[in-house]
Structure 1
Amino acid sequence: MMFPTQEINILIVEDELLIAKNLSVKLEKLGYKIAGIVSSGADAIQRAGEIKPDLILMDIVIKGEIDGIETATIINQKLDIPIIYTTAYADDETLQRAENSGSYGYLLKPFKERELHATIKIALSKHQEAVKMQTLIALAAAKSNNRSRFISMAYHDLNTPLTTIQLSAEMLEDSELCKTPETPNKNVARIKKAVSNMSGLLEDILMLSKAEAGKLSLNLDSLNVTDFCCSILEELQPIVTDKHILNFRAQTKPLYANLDVKLLHHLLTNLLSNAIKYSPNGGNVSLELSCENQQIIFCVRDEGIGMTAEYEGKLFQQFERGPNVGNIKGSGLGLCIVKHIVDLHGGTISVESAIDKGTTFIVALPFLGH
């Protein structure tokens, strides 16, 4: 979606007046409106509440007792305004703090007009899609006879703009702007990762909607389950850190079964990515494959944060997340979808877990071999 620049009001938070004026001139040249210029965190919080700008350009090092990242965190708690950080340097620790505060971008000084313009447009697009996503999640949680139809419409409405953001990020990545220095490439990578996360959430919501409406059906195919598990573990390698050890255990003879390939892929990917994600300190993550009592048994183990017995009872409910997940991001939809997939196959799923000891999911699906 295109945003008319003349309708966008921007608040500048910068303690160097000359830099602020120069930035203001560049923005006005690009057609944006300047809602105000402030030099401290306290003033930024006050002005943001008063004028509610469409976007804030926040210098990380500013006057006062709190820096730009702390200021942005406070603003985000009160107002839904996209914030882009600006700074003269970009060390990894600062980038991590900025990312954790929920920023919509990162710009290095001195500012180049094309990079400034592109980053603002992407930030505004991301924010608009985030607002729509929140509405969609609320809709998914609500009880409505027309929920399935509405979610399907919203899915298609959101998917096209997400593709546009992804393509814009790739164009920015390929442009001369990102050749030097290295840091802007990290910024583009974060944009692409955010789009990927949002697309995944959209797929989850659509699948859950179909399942609850009884429109999620099985398409069974004969499958070499052993090879299939190996391919999924290879797909997950990019999210495995140096602290994790990914293991696969299976009998020597290949196992075959009639299963829905797409749904099984979703099931195993969800359980394994959760095992990695909820093991922030690393450790062993294993997928064990076996056959027992005419059933294929998938066992996913980790050595992560675990869960309480109380939470285990809510595990497969929508939007439920454990009280000990901290800052680990998630929608609370994945395991609910996994349960639907298991039920469709006529299988069972169980869990064994303990706080700080890890979690084991055991999925048993009917076995129909050659």
Structure 2
Amino acid sequence: MPNLFHENEFVFNVLFEAVSEGVIVVDENQAIVATNVAAEQMFGYTKGELQEQHLNILIPTNHHVAHSVKGGHYETFYKQSSARQMGENKDLRGLHKNGAKFPVEVGLNPFVIGEKKYVMSILIDITNRKNSEAKIIELNALLEEKISTRTTELHKTVLDLKDEIEKRVKVESKLKKALKKEKELNELKTKFLSLVSHEFKTPLSGILNAAILIGKYTKTEMQAKRDKHLLTIKNKVYYLNGILNDFLSIERLESGKVKYKLTNFKLSKVVNEVIYNANMMLKSGQRINYPLNIDDLNIYQDEKIVELVLSNLLNNAIKYSPEKTTIDFKIKFKSNAFIFEIKDEGIGIPYEDQKHIFERYFRAENALTNEGTGIGLNIVKGHLESLGGNIKFISTRDIGTTFIVKLPLIKEK
């Protein structure tokens, strides 16, 4: 596995193991450099057993030449360097460790780390789908046989045929819906991994470059330059950590594994932590107005979720606002809830995009040039609704946005 993979092993482990499909990464020599548990189980191997093996170990022998020779399938795709489905309209097979062949669907995604090119494959065992297709063919054949054998009993044949057609339509409709849903899910996972690859590539490259530059400043009087690059590394790691927390939150929300830990804590503790981290991301001339007299406010909630919500909204306000602007952070206490308001002077949300702003992976058209995954607000909304709260916003393009979060007061048990 390349050094960069070793240095960020936790990052890639979280990403690979977050999906149920098999994920295999190979380098330009078709050597396997990374796999997830789903891929190892799919092909019958134990953890780490596929490491550094040639990709041919997973491909039936009769396809080795077409796949690996100069000018073959792999080289052709590698030169094209664009994400696509592998072997469209072809019957692709994987080779299990025990020698058995099984049908697979493969999505290919090229990416670059440092100066090395890799290809990420997303694999799905479609044995059940093939069985379903065979079942449809079997049903069609059975229907045709019944029609031919019952032509002498016209009335009974018509009734039987109508019954069979209705059954077949229902079965076929269910199968088509299942296949469509499976395809949409696969496309979503492919988009997810492509998004992750892109979002991690830039900050990881920034961290690597900053680390290299620090090594060149060896003299004592160069400490200011070292501090500058150390701050870059710290900010990039903070950004990556935020993305990882977002992805973990999605997985937990979808699987229903979120277990909220409600405790009684001082609101000022969370606010101070959020403001401290946000200050590291401020652009030149930006400042945050935030409440100072909140030391006597206690709240019974999940402390980590409150921090996640406020951090996400403040970071967005900073990211989408220009230099020399002010961000107002207000806290209001009502008889049954806490109200948090975060107002910025940023680019705002176009009116036509506002109805989609809480959808996963959605990004407004005027925010596409800013780094981001489009999942933060989706996660915030999911957690707030699970805790009995809500979130809304008021926004005008090129003027700014105000997000309002309401968290209900919960009595301590």
Give the TM-score of the pair, scaled to structure 1. Answer: 0.54
What is residue 114 of structure 2 aligned with on the other side?
123
Counterparts in 2 of 1:340 and 1:250: CA distance versus 1, 3 Å:
farther
Alpha-carbon distance in 2 for matches of 1:354, 1:311: 11
What is residue 2 of structure 1 aligned with on the other side?
2
What is residue 287 of structure 2 aligned with on the other side?
245
Does the 8 Å CA contact 2:213/2:229 hold for their aligned counterparts? no
Alpha-carbon distance in 1 for matches of 2:269, 2:234: 30
Does the 8 Å CA contact 1:255/1:369 hold for their aligned counterparts? no
Q: Deviations over 1:184-235 (max 9, x none)?
A: 9977876775555444323211211111111112101101113321231122
Alignment pair present for 1:329 and 2:371: yes
2:272 is matched by which residue type in structure 1? C
Counterpart of 1:262 (choices 298, 304, 311) is 304
Does the 8 Å CA contact 1:169/1:188 hold for their aligned counterparts? no
Q: Structure 1 residue 319: deviation in Å? A: 0.5
1:304 is matched by which residue type in structure 2? G
Q: Deviations over 1:22-54 (max 9, x none)?
A: xxxxxxxxxxxxxxxxxxxxxxxxxxx999499
Alignment pair present for 1:205 and 2:266: no
Q: Where does 1:203-242 land on structure 2 (aligned, <5 Å)?
A: 203-242=245-284
Q: Deviations over 1:139-159 (max 9, x none)?
A: xx9537xx8xxx9xxx9xxx9
Runs of 5+ unmatched residues, structure 2: 4-26, 30-75, 82-108, 124-182
Alpha-carbon distance in 1 for matches of 2:310, 2:298: 16
Does the 8 Å CA contact 1:220/1:261 hold for their aligned counterparts? yes
Alpha-carbon distance in 2 for matches of 1:285, 1:135: 42
Does the 8 Å CA contact 2:285/2:325 hold for their aligned counterparts? yes
2:266 is matched by which residue type in structure 1? N
Counterpart of 1:349 (choices 391, 395, 405) is 391
Alpha-carbon distance in 2 for matches of 1:351, 1:174: 43
Counterpart of 1:280 (choices 312, 315, 322) is 322
Runs of 5+ unmatched residues, structure 1: 10-48, 55-78, 83-121
What is residue 312 of structure 1 aligned with on the other side?
354
- Percent identical pairs in the alignment equals 26
Alpha-carbon distance in 2 for matches of 1:188, 1:356: 34
Larger gyration radius, structure 1 or structure 2: 2
Alpha-carbon distance in 2 for matches of 1:186, 1:8: 35
What is residue 292 of structure 1 aligned with on the other side?
334
What is the total number of aligned residue pairs between the two structures?
246
Question: What's the secondary structure of 1:243's corresponding residue?
Answer: coil
Does the 8 Å CA contact 2:267/2:298 hold for their aligned counterparts? yes
What is residue 90 of structure 2 aligned with on the other side?
none
Alpha-carbon distance in 2 for matches of 1:325, 1:336: 16
Q: Structure 1 residue 81: deviation in Å? A: 6.6
Give the TM-score of the pair, scaled to structure 2. Answer: 0.49
What is residue 61 of structure 2 aligned with on the other side?
none
What is residue 339 of structure 1 aligned with on the other side?
381
Counterparts in 2 of 1:288 and 1:344: CA distance versus 1, 3 Å:
same
Q: Structure 1 residue 272: deviation in Å? A: 0.1
Counterparts in 2 of 1:288 and 1:50: CA distance versus 1, 3 Å:
closer
Q: Structure 1 residue 167: deviation in Å? A: 9.3
Does the 8 Å CA contact 1:257/1:367 hold for their aligned counterparts? yes
What is residue 361 of structure 1 aligned with on the other side?
403
Q: Deviations over 1:292-351 (max 9, x none)?
A: 131011111101111123222111110111111142111101000100111121101110
Alignment pair present for 1:179 and 2:218: yes
RMSD, matched Cα: 4.6
Q: Deviations over 1:233-273 (max 9, x none)?
A: 12211111232121113655622111111111111100000
Alpha-carbon distance in 2 for matches of 1:341, 1:216: 9
Q: Structure 1 residue 289: deviation in Å? A: 0.8
Question: What's the secondary structure of 2:321's corresponding residue?
Answer: coil
Q: Structure 1 residue 173: deviation in Å? A: 5.4
Alpha-carbon distance in 1 for matches of 2:233, 2:271: 30
Alpha-carbon distance in 2 for matches of 1:81, 1:204: 22
Alpha-carbon distance in 1 for matches of 2:214, 2:250: 36
Alignment pair present for 1:303 and 2:345: yes
1:2 is matched by which residue type in structure 2? P
Question: What's the secondary structure of 1:235's corresponding residue?
Answer: helix
Counterparts in 2 of 1:333 and 1:135: CA distance versus 1, 3 Å:
farther
Does the 8 Å CA contact 1:173/1:185 hold for their aligned counterparts? no
Alpha-carbon distance in 2 for matches of 1:51, 1:309: 41
